[in-house]
Amino acid sequence: MTIALDKLAEPAVRAFVGALNSGDRAAFAAALTPDATMSDDGSDRDVGDWTEREVFSSGGHMDIESQSRDGLGLVANYRNDTWGEMRTAWRFTVDGGKVSRFETGQA
């Protein structure tokens, strides 16, 4: 059972997931602070390079399985054309209504 986008509790996370799933680079950039940072499996990565490779050029998509009480943590089945599907955990830091950091890794 997946959680619908409109049921995600945190508006900034909802904007992030919606933009990612629709492949909308402009909306994705708008969901992030200008200095947003991220990590993948505990290693900091360049947001632009990582999202282009892991999301936009490879058809990335998240099916949300669960969210934390505060809406800043997600468990999702993430898939893209490069890696197939995997169960992932996501943690978000929100500043001023935008995502300033996200951390992802296998769940």
Instruction: Provide the whole-model pTM.
Output: 0.96
CA distance 18 to 6: 9
Instruction: Give per-residue burial for 31-52: e unless 16+ CB within 10 Å, then b.
Output: bbbeebbbeeeeeebebeeebe
| Contact yes or no for 66/3 (Cβ under 8 A) | yes
Q: Can you give the C-alpha Rg of the chain in angstroms?
A: 12
86-95 residue pLDDT tens:
999 999 999 9
56-100 residue pLDDT tens:
999 999 999 999 999 999 999 999 999 999 999 999 999 999 999
Instruction: For residue 80, list its beta bridge partners.
Output: 84
In order of their start, the domains of the chain are 5-106 (3.10.450.50)
